Structure 1
Amino acid sequence: MKKTGVIILVGMMTLIALYPSVSANDSGIVVDQELVTVSLANKGLQVDEIIKVTNKGTENVTSLRFWIQQNTQDKPKIVELQSGIELIPLITGNIRTCNLSAVNLTIEPDASITIELTYYLPSNEQNFVKTLLYDTISFSVTYKEGNNEWNLFQGEHLLYGSDVNNAMQIRLYKPTEAPLNITSIVIVFVIVIIALALLLLLLKKKRSKTKKAVVESEDTLTTKKTLLLSLLKDLEKQYRGKAISDETYNKIKDEYKQQAVDTMKKLDDLKK
């Protein structure tokens, strides 16, 4: 019985050593730079975070906290890059707390270390969510697809906030929604230019035909007007020479005169 109690006690002490409480003293930590890269992988959207932190306090820092959104598909991997040591975190909601002293790491005042986080989000995830746990000098999120990269967010001198409701939400590009590359943009631009050129050509031809029709109509009306005026003069001469009767003269004169008036009115309308 005593032996069992000793084993349990040793186990509890080991857990305490490996997993510090969330309230561990890391108040002096400042994030100099956090580079987040999101890329499409077989498991989903792979998130790689490179975080350089500096101890601006006066005491050694022996633990670090990291905030990771809830819907990660696999257990996040946390590695201190200089030593290559993987850190085992204590999980409390979205926060992963890593005991540095458990792997013989300590951040002395004014010293820095760089941490890499790797985890996966569902391939249909639309937003990258992050709550800063430390004051952050530089923070960026990049979406990567093949050899193409797009900067989705760039921020500087950001203050931390531990409330998940105040988390930043950055819209992610799905593979089918990724911005057009330069080749696609050029192709679309050329197609638009060709379409506009064809449209302008059709409009020009249409205007040319319309103008030609107007000119022909004006010439025809002018000729008709001249002919009618000439006929009226001849009619007047015949009437004065008593070659036609009063009844015939008045009938033909009224008809020619009305046609001449209508023709001149149409000409005036074309010139407006």
Structure 2
Amino acid sequence: MPPDPVAFFEAQRPRLLRLAYRMLGSHAEAEDVVQDAFLRWHGAAGVENPPAWLTRTVSRLCLDQMKSARMRRETYPGTWLPEPLIEPEDDTLRPDNLTLSLMMALERLSPLERAAFLLHDVFGQPLDEVATTIERSPSATRQLASRARAHVQIDRPRYDVPRDKGEELARAFFEACRSGDPAVLGAMLAEGASLHADGGGKIHSYPNVITGADNLLRLFTSLARKFGDGMEFLEATIIDGLPGYVSRVGGVLQTTALEISEGRITAIYITRNPDKLTGITRH
């Protein structure tokens, strides 16, 4: 046990929070899990490998949470999106390199597949430690990670947008949405572009995924006529690894993240559920 257990835990907290968030897709649930781990840590004795012990504890707590979370999402009103994670200015502080679109891909994995993939492939835990954490044999754990990897690779974007270029695209897209210019919007959208909007049943949103550039053009031109003067750009940022921005539309705070490939927008992720935007308080 470290000489100052509390100070040691606080130094580990950012890593543990990120792990819990990637497992659960919820900041609030991640904070609850990490706080629970802190209480268990406070009462622990004779811990030989503190970082591994904390990772194992948080992972197991998350696995317990994921079972009930799956049931809640099955009855969630409309499209469910992970809570938006506003990234730091320094890209080197994004050690796991996951994006919102990959988080959505992880949602299709079983809890054990997700845990095995995150712990081994993303957070670099040795396979035998992952096996101990999820209480499976090393061979079974290897199979879980392999299946998860195959699913995720299908959805892994093969592009990387520099921060400055991403901010430029985000601002340009916002202005195009506000003006409702079909020519500009049409040039920015990929043919099979999709829109995913999460209002949580509390704020008007679109319950189903909208797919196709023509459908999105009709939607955005309609929104421009209704809200054009009421669209306020607040900040360009990186949201879960994707270029995006924070804005208000008709007085409602929302985040918009853009998945971009070959210079065109392939997916738009809009979060309007106020419960998922409590961390964005400066606006």
TM-score (norm 1): 0.21
Identify, as 1 or 2, the structure richer in strand: 1
Structure of greater relative contact order (alpha carbons < 8 Å, 6+ residues apart): 2
Larger radius of gyration: 1
